[in-house]
Chain A
Amino acid sequence: METLQDWLTVYYATAYRTARLILRNPADAEEAVQDAFLRAWRFRSTLPQGGDVRPWLYRVVVNACCSKLRKEQSWRQRVDADDDALAHVPDPGRTPSQAAEDADALAAVLDALQRLPEHLRITVVLRYYSGLSEKEIATAISRRPGTVKSRLHEARARLAADPRLQALVLDEAEEA
């Protein structure tokens, strides 16, 4: 990819939604992703030739989100400001009641995610939304792969304890 436009076309949407899942607030997410892309584009000469840009780019995005989380006290006041975004759930062929149920389920997932500690939330989002491997996540957050594995395990256990996420929990027979 030769231009910033190419980068944006390929990576922006996923990076933005990743930042939204981490930060929740849309303005903060857009600002963090914008900063990350600008910074990454400015220092693209340090990108390994022929290497995958994703882990490197997500590292910049994650650091921008962490800076936002550290500075933002007021995100707690704005955490519920844009839940109307969840009203737009793509449900082709579903009835309105099914769409409403979906919206509730997704709101529950989002709430549970926000209740996770920052370091667990980031790892979960990078793994189960952005689709990075454990090794790529380790690069993105500057930790060892073993740390990533244990964080994912702990996050899944915490999410399983949320009564509203029982639909995601494996029952004993399935676990066995």
Chain B
Amino acid sequence: MVDELRLTDALRRTGDSFDVPEDAFERVLAQAGELRPSTRQPSRAETRAGRVRRLLAAAAGVAVLLGGVSVWDNRVTDKAENADMAVSGSGSRGDGSTGGSLLEGEAPVDAPVRPGTAPGRDTARIVRTGTASLEVDEGRFAATMAALTRLAGSADGYVSGSMSSETDDRPSGSVTLRVPGERFDQVVADVRGLGDVLALTVTAQDVTVEHTDLEARLRALQATRSQFVTLLSKATRVGEVLEVQTRINDIQVQIEQTQGKIRLLDSQTAYGSLKVEVYESGDALTQRPGDRSRLRRAWDESVDGFVGGVAWLVSVAGPVLLILIVGVGARFAYRLTRRRLV
């Protein structure tokens, strides 16, 4: 066991080796000069029970506020869900995704509407994504990739990623375009015009409910923080001050996290993402069976026929062999019987 005296001596020498920062006093005094002094003295009428009652009343007020926000939040969520169902129609409802474009000009039923805005697509927040595979003429790969980049720029978008490779002297690659949501469909149509579309998938995911939920949560957190700041000014004991300050710090972290999620959703809904893969014709990946030559087809069929014939022979060999064995056996038995009779 460590000796207490020796430990005390060691810690004293260690601690005393730390120099107190210069101007530390001045910094504290300067900050203190900006503080509003709390000179409030507890009056005779204010007992400890009175302080507890005040804090309980304030906490009850916070609880009522949070409860009210939660009820309002649920109402908004229900209405948004109803609106979502009205917009998506007969599409898959697993996660709000639908294939293809949204119905033009159709207003969600009972959707939350911001003051001053007409209901409709303006209030819905849609994440647009898509993938397309494009076949272009031989030698046109580089030009197509450049055209896709220009297409993104002309739609006030940008290229968020690209990749290219070369196999057997045939280049291929992909480019990911981020374009404003309202220009997404037009960009898809323009991409179609750059080559033969081998595959195309476009999705639209409605995240209005999620966004509304996050905004409501943010408002509730900010209101709660304001209430605790008010509580902080009323707290008189050091323990209360520290407790309330800790809660304020925790709520601030949650506020910043929620704001981050909202910013992410805003980014995803503001710009749709379209990944376009480009291949030159003659690339193995784009070859179709009809492109093979007649001679090649004839050869393949001949090989198939040979293999098939061998397979047939093998399949009939078993029964034929059995018949032969039975036949030879019968003949041998007949000759043996005839000799005995003679």
Contacts and interface: CB of A to CB of B under 8 A. Distances in A.
Contacts of A9: 25
B2 A38 contact: no
Contacts of A124: 7, 11
Nearest to B3: A170
Nearest to A142: B239
Interface stretch (A17-25, A73-81, A143-151): A17-25
Contacts, number: 136
A167 interface: yes
Contact of A129 (B1, B15, B20, B237): B15
A9 to B, nearest CB: 8
B117 interface: no
A17 B16 contact: yes
B14 A67 contact: no
Contact of B11 (A34, A129, A170): A129
B298 interface: no
Looking at A40, A42, A88, A159, which has the most chain B CB atoms within 10 Å of its CB? A42
Interface residues of A, number: 57
A58 to B, nearest CB: 11
> For the complex, would chain A's binding face be called helix, strand, loop or mixed by DSSP majority?
helix
Contact of B35 (A5, A38, A156, A167): A38
A39 B241 contact: yes
B13 interface: yes
A42 B37 contact: yes
Nearest to B26: A8
Interface residues of B, number: 40
Given A41-B32, A170-B1, A26 B21 contact: yes
B241 A8 contact: no
Given A39-B241, A85-B19, A106-B17, A5 B25 contact: yes
A106 B41 CA distance: 46
B238 A59 contact: yes
A40 B28 CA distance: 12
Interface string A46-85: 1000000000100110010001000100000000000001
A160 B38 CA distance: 47
Contacts of B18: 16-17, 20, 26, 85
B25 A86 contact: no
A46 B238 contact: yes
B282 to A, nearest CB: 55
Contact of B14 (A63, A110, A157): A110
A39 to B, nearest CB: 7
Contacts of A142: 239
Contact of A39 (B29, B37, B238): B238
A21 B17 CA distance: 11
A24 B23 CA distance: 20
A2 interface: no
Contacts of B16: 17, 90
A106 B6 contact: no
A29 to B, nearest CB: 8
B249 A67 contact: yes
A67 B25 contact: no
B335 interface: no
B329 to A, nearest CB: 90
A46 B17 contact: no
B14 A21 contact: yes
23 contacts: A4-B28, A8-B29, A12-B24, A13-B20, A16-B20, A16-B21, A21-B14, A34-B27, A39-B241, A42-B35, A43-B236, A45-B38, A46-B236, A63-B242, A109-B14, A124-B11, A129-B12, A156-B4, A157-B2, A159-B2, A160-B1, A170-B2, A175-B1
Given A42-B38, A168-B3, 6 more contacts: A9-B25, A60-B238, A63-B242, A85-B18, A106-B13, A110-B14
Interface of A: 4-5, 8-9, 12-13, 16-18, 20-21, 26, 30, 33-34, 37-43, 45-46, 56, 59-60, 63, 67, 71, 85-86, 88-90, 102, 105-106, 109-110, 113, 124-125, 128-129, 142, 156-157, 159-160, 165, 167-170, 174-175
